Amino acid sequence: EKGGYDYFMLKEIAEQPKAVADTLLGRIGADGQLTLDEVRIPDSVLREIDKIVIIACGTSFHAGLIAKYAIEHWTRIPCEVEVASEFRYRDPILDQQTLVVAISQSGESMDTLMALRHAREQGAKVLAICNTNGSTIPRESDAVLYTHAGPEVAVASTKAFLTQLVACYLVALYLGQVRGTKWGDEITEVIRQLADMPQQVERVLDTMEPVRELARSLADARSVLFLGRHVGYPVALEGALKLKELAYMHAEGFAAGELKHGPIALIEEGLPVVVVVPSPRGRSVLHDKIVSNIQEIRARGARTIVVAEEGDEAVVPFADHLVRIPRTPVLLQPLVATVPLQVFACELATAKGHEVDQPRNLAKSVTVE
């Protein structure tokens, strides 16, 4: 049932192009417009929404962090993202014009369920993004957008994460479409490029051998840091989480701009630091800033592992290891940038002899608070 792979995780990483394609299937019309018929919240209600709050845990929370960038950019609706376990205890401000988006692969995470119950009690509408048909979270929500990743068996989430991103982009673009924003043309263009993402993910998977080799060479590292900016920041958090879960190593993700506010003190000779570089096109200020960050850490001895777009030559002189990813629209980059980090963590954990499908102390779905 592992389809010839040694671990479910490897199989699920490999299934990502199909999972992304399946999650897009039937949702982009021939006219290039989105149709999310299953989201049974009327467009008239969606037009009145004045705040979006995303609640989720773990990897699903990282998808939510990325969604915030897309939602705020394409809809101009303020969006907050919070770990579900913190949400209801701070007496959050919610009303009928708040759309709460609960993201959960399993649909059974107790923290997320309790947070969504709290949100509904306050009168908010809840939209679930979920991978498990008929599970508790979608049953208790006003509407659900299913991710079509297929069953995810490995404890570490991979293909579910990519499909959560797709679902979040669809929600953001759909809201933009329904409400009409100045980004109309960009929205049409991104919908078109979203349809191309399965091939882009496939291309990343085809070039992973050097990443595996690098991961094996780092099996004895004490710690790995991950840096990113903009949507690359949550990608860095996700890369670090994968490494903690699978390799039982100290790993931490930072917003690259925060380095000089403290974490740069951690940099020492030989410390591996993975840097997710934003596209030099689009918001290029960010690109230039991260290139400076890479120089700063390298000057202090870091071993830089740079994940950068094809054609980005500015990073080459400062990269000890360069991982190329295809060009994508800025906001869609996490769909390709996350994949090498999954492969990296999986391979490093395997090199350490760990059971990657069943990491110690973890369960696939966390049904206690």
- List interacting residues with ligand M6R (CB under 6 A): 57-60, 104-106, 109, 112, 155-157, 245, 362, 365-366
Closest to 133 measured CA to CA, from 117, 156, 151: 151
Shortest distance, CB of residue 171 to ligand M6R, whole angstroms? 16
> Which residue, 292 or 367, is less far from ligand M6R as judged by CB?
367
Cβ-based neighbours of 220, under 8 Å, separated by 6 or more: none
41 CB burial (10 A radius; 0-12, 13-18, 19+): middle
Is residue 364 among the annotated active site residues?
A: yes
> Which residue, 105 or 333, is less far from ligand M6R as judged by CB?
105
Shortest distance, CB of residue 245 to ligand M6R, whole angstroms? 6
List the 79-83 sheet strands across, edge first. 79-83, 51-56, 98-104, 125-130, 143-146
Helix pair 209-217, 334-351: axis angle to 10 deg: 40
Q: Which of 18, 51, 289, 364 is catalytic?
A: 364
Shortest distance, CB of residue 91 to ligand M6R, whole angstroms? 23
> Which residue, 116 or 330, is less far from ligand M6R as judged by CB?
116
What is the C-alpha separation between 167 and 195, in angstroms, rounded?
13
Contact between residue 171 and residue 42 where contact means Cβ atoms under 8 Å apart = no
What is the C-alpha separation between 103 and 224, in angstroms, rounded?
28
> Which residue, 57 or 116, is less far from ligand M6R as judged by CB?
57
DSSP code of 34?
B
> Which residue, 59 or 200, is less far from ligand M6R as judged by CB?
59
Q: Both tokens of residue 358?
A: 């069943």
What is the C-alpha separation between 141 and 128, in angstroms, rounded?
6
Residue nearest to ligand M6R (CB): 58
> Which residue, 59 or 338, is less far from ligand M6R as judged by CB?
59
Shortest distance, CB of residue 73 to ligand M6R, whole angstroms? 24
* Residues known to be catalytic: 364
